Chain A
Amino acid sequence: MTRLVVDPLTRVEGHGRVELLLKEGRLYDVKVRLLESPRLFESLVVGRRYDEVPDLVCRICAICSAAHKLTSLQALEKLMDIRIPTTAAVLRELLLLGGHLQSHALHLFCLILPDLCGTPDLLVLLQRKEPLAEAGIRLKAFGNHIQEIAGGRVVHPVNPVFGGVAYIPDKQLIDGLSEELRHWQIYWPDLYQQFLQLGNYPEAGPVLGNPLATGLQEAFSLNGESLSYGEEQIDCSGYAQLLGERSRADSHAKDSNGQAGPFLTGALARASLAAGRKLRFDKPAERFGIHGNNLAQASEIGWTLRRIGQLLETLRQADRSEPLRTTLKQANGGVGTVATEAPRGLLIHHYVVDEWGKVVAADIVTPTAINQRVMAAQILADLANEKDHERLCKVAERIVRAYDPCISCAVHLVQVENSSEKGLSCQKRSK
C-alpha cells in the first residue's frame, strides 16, 4: 500500500492536506483533512450580547467577512423581528456583491490562473506582464473598492450594524463606482472570453453531489429564507435535518444523513439550480467536470456586475434624509436562522437568544464544510485510473482548489472530516 500526501494544500484559503491511498498502484481511498486550528466561534459568542456577535463572527474568515457579518446580522434581525430600511438593504447587498467580485477574482486570477498557465503563483505572471493576470487583479481591486465604500473597510466591514447600516457613502463615491463599473461592463465580456479559452483543465468525470443553494430568485441572493436542492425547496430552519450536522452524535439520525446528500454548493450548484428553473444563466459544459465550477464563477462575475449597476442606480436615487437604521427598544429572545450565498456557496447562521438579549446557542455551517463530503469522493472518481504519482498529487490538489475551499471558514472541521469518509463510503457502494 502506498500513501501519497499533499501537504500543505497551496493556493487555498486555510490549512489543509490531501492523503491518497493506493493499493496495487490504484487509488482506493482519499482523505481530505482540514487542519485549521479550532477557534470555537460558536462557543465564544455564547453569553455575549446579540449585537456583539456580528463583529466577532466576521473574524471567522477574512475573504468571507462581509458574508459572515451580513448573515449573522440577518439571522439576529429575523430573530428580533426587525425590518431594516430599504437603503440599508441595498448597501448591504452591494457590500456582499463587492465581496463576491473580489473573492471570485482572487480565486480565478490569483489562485487558478497559475494552474492554467503552469506557474507556481500570480507574482510570476505579473513579472511576465501577463495581461489576464493584470486585468484580473484590477477586477479584484474593483471588488475591494466596492467593499471599502459600502462596508467602510475591505476586510471585516464596519458599516453593517444591527438594524441597518451606520452611514451612506457620499454621492461622489457612488458616482466613482458607477464610473468604474462602466469600464468593467465594457471590458469584462472580452476578459471572460479570454478566460474561457484557456484550456489546460485536467480531464474530469461527471460532477458529484446534489446541488444545494438558497431559494434562488436569480443567480444568488442575500435573501436566504429557504434552501433549494433538486426540485425541493425547504424553509432554512430545516437545515440541520437536511445536512445532518446535528445528527452526528445521534446514531439514529445518521442514516437519514445520506439521503439527499452529499451536497455540492457554490457557483456550479447555483448555475445548475438556476438552469433547472430556466433562469438566465450560463451553465458550463459538462466536460469540464468540477472545474466547471471556476467557469461558473467567471460567468457569475458578469451577473454580479449587472446587479451592482442596478444597486448603484438605486443608491443614486435614494432619499438621503431617510433613517438608515431601525432601532430596537428592547431585545427579544427567540430563534433565528438564515442562509445566504457566500462566494463559495451556502452559508447558514443560526442563533438562539434569551429574553435579555444574550446568546444562548449558535451554529454556523459554512460552504466548505458542506462541500467536504463530495471533495474526497470527486478526487476518487476523477483519479480512479491515474497511476502516475506526481500527476495524482497535482490533480488532486487542483480538484480541491476547483471548489474554492475556505478552510478558515469551515469551523465544523472535525465533523467534516468524518463526513468526507461518509462521502467515500457512499461512493464505494455505488460502484
Chain B
Amino acid sequence: MKLKPPINLAWIRFTSCSGCQLMLLNCEPSLAELARIVAIRDFPLASSTLGKNTEIDIGLVEGSITTPSELERLLAFRRKVHLLVAVGACALTAGVNSLVRGERRQAMTKVYAEQGDDWNTFPPQPVAHFVKVDGQIPGCPPEPGELLNSIGTLLNGGWAGHQVMPVCMECRINENPCLLERDRAPCLGPITLAGCNARCPNLGVPCEGCRGVVAEANRDELCRLFKTAGLTDQDISHRLERFGETT
C-alpha cells in the first residue's frame, strides 16, 4: 500500500527515556522535508496538536508497557493505527527498565518510600506481548537515519530492508581491531544485530548489544570467549541481560 502525503503520523510513548523520539527531532536537516510529507496527529513532545480520534497511517510506539493504564492506551492506539511500528529497545525487548530484580513491590517501596506501595505496576513488557506489531526499529537509541528511512520507504509502499548480520561483520568491513581479542573487552558485537555501522567499536568502545540479538547467534561460543578473557559468570550475565539476552 502506497501512502500519499500528508501521512498522518502519531508517536506514542510509554515507559522510556524519550530517546527514540528525540532521535527523530535530531534529524535537524531533514525536519523541514519531513514537515512537508507528514501531518502530526499526536506527538506530545513536539506538538500541541492532539488528534484523539483521527485515523493514523503510521503509529510509532516507544517504551515498554508497565502499568494497566499504559496497556489500555496501547490497545486504543492499535485500534486507530494502520501500521504500528515499535521503536527502540524498550518497545522491542522492554529495555533496561526490565533489569529490576526480585519483588517489584519491594523495589517500589524502596525508591518511592511508603507511597510506592499502592502504585499499580507490573514488570516491563515489550509491546508485541499485547498487540500486533507491523514493523520494528531496533536500538537504544535507534540510528537517526533508520527512522527517516522507515517513514520514507513506507511512503513509497514498502518496508525498509533490515540487517540480518551481526555488528561483528560491520567491524570487519571497517577494518577495526577486534576489541575482544585485543583488549579482552566484553564486546557483544558477535551476537548483536548490525545496522549501526559498528558505531561503538569504531570508537574503541565495546558493543553493549543495544540493537538486540541477531538471528542464529552463537551465544555459547561468545560466553566461552568471554570466560577466556577472564569474565566471571556474573559479569557475563549482567552484560548480556542489559538488552534482554540470557546466557
Interface residues of A (CB under 8 A from B): 8-15, 36-40, 42-44, 47-49, 52, 55-56, 59-63, 65, 106, 110, 114, 120-124, 126-127, 129, 134, 137-138, 140-141, 144, 152-156, 158-159, 161, 166-167, 248-249, 408, 411-415, 418
Known: A114-B48, A137-B28. A166 touches B205 (CB 8 A): yes
B165 sits at the interface (CB 8 A) = no
Interface residues of B (CB under 8 A from A): 13-20, 22-23, 25-26, 28-29, 31-32, 34-36, 40, 43-50, 66-67, 70, 95-97, 99-101, 104, 107-108, 110-116, 119, 121, 140-141, 144, 199-200, 203-205, 208, 210, 235, 238, 242
CB of A81, distance to nearest CB on chain B (Å) = 23
Known: A110-B25, A121-B48, A155-B22. A37 touches B144 (CB 8 A): no
**B205–A14 CB distance below 8 A:** no
**A152–B203 CB distance below 8 A:** yes
**B47–A37 CB distance below 8 A:** no
Cα distance A126–B23 when bound, in Å?
Answer: 18
Known: A37-B15, A156-B140. A167 touches B203 (CB 8 A): yes
B49 contact set on A, CB distance < 8 A: 120-121
**B67–A37 CB distance below 8 A:** yes
A161 contact set on B, CB distance < 8 A: 205
**B112–A38 CB distance below 8 A:** yes
**A37–B95 CB distance below 8 A:** no
Cα distance A127–B111 when bound, in Å?
Answer: 45
Q: Which of A10, A12, A59, A158 has the most CB of B within 10 A?
A: A59
Q: How many cross-chain pairs have Cβ atoms below 8 Å apart between A and B? A: 177
- Contact with A414, one of B44, B100, B112 (Cβ below 8 angstroms): B112
> Which residue of chain A has its CB nearest to the CB of B89?
A59
**A10–B44 CB distance below 8 A:** yes
**B50–A411 CB distance below 8 A:** no
> Which residue of chain B has its CB nearest to the CB of A58?
B17
**A127–B35 CB distance below 8 A:** yes
A248 contact set on B, CB distance < 8 A: 113
**B205–A152 CB distance below 8 A:** yes
Query: Closest 6 CB pairs between A and B?
Result: A62-B19, A121-B47, A141-B28, A123-B35, A43-B107, A37-B15
Cα distance A44–B111 when bound, in Å?
Answer: 10
**B111–A59 CB distance below 8 A:** no
Known: A49-B238, A152-B200. A59 touches B95 (CB 8 A): yes
- Contact with A141, one of B15, B29, B210 (Cβ below 8 angstroms): B29
